[in-house]
Amino acid sequence: MKKPSLAFILVLSTVMSVCVGIVMSIYMMLMKGMALEPMPLLINIGIATLIGIVVCSVLPVAPLGSKLAVFYGSKPGDLLHGALQSVVINTIMTFCVSFGMTAFATGFATFPDGTSFFVRWLAPIPSVWGIAFITTFLCLPIAMTLARKADGDKGEAAAH
């Protein structure tokens, strides 16, 4: 297995970050009872996407997910492989994006009612994780295909 190129990493992280960022931003705004107005929504999507790109570019989330899937006996391309890889990618991205968006929206200080940053950061994760997992699972094949094309991999179709 060759080391992924910079183009591969950037395309994969951008596509995954945009997809998860859109879903998390819409869900979080609806969960807080906010209207889906264009500017706040675009700002949230931009922040979530930027955080996701940085996290995916710095941490090897896709290879970690693949290693977990192989550890449990699945082969690349299998449905189980994609599901287990999505679990790792989604978990890391959900925690990191939630951290960044909470810090941006509310800061790190404890609120007057005693709600700490830690509670505000972790509170939405149980409800948003499932939705973000479905998004990750559905978008991962598309992101991988686009990343392979950006890497110059023509795939099996070109070989025949």
pLDDT band, residue 154 (cuts 50/70/90): low
* 58 alpha-carbon distance from chain centroid: 13
Query: Is residue 111 within 8 Å of residue 118, measured between CB atoms?
Result: no
Look up residue 94 and give its two tokens: 């959900």
| Residue 48 to residue 96: CA distance in whole angstroms | 9
| Residue 61 to residue 64: CA distance in whole angstroms | 5
56: nearest Cα among 83, 19, 26, 28: 19
pTM of the shown model: 0.83
pLDDT in tens, 58-79: 888 888 888 999 999 998 888 9
| Residue 131 to residue 29: CA distance in whole angstroms | 14
- Please name the residues in contact with 21: beta carbons below 8 A apart, sequence gap of 6 or more: 44, 45, 46, 47, 48, 49, 51, 52, 97
pLDDT in tens, 7-36: 888 898 899 999 988 998 898 888 888 888
86: nearest Cα among 64, 58, 57: 64
- Taking 80 as the threshold, does the pLDDT of residue 156 lie above it? no
Query: Up-side HSE of residue 149: CA atoms within 13 Å toward CB?
Result: 7
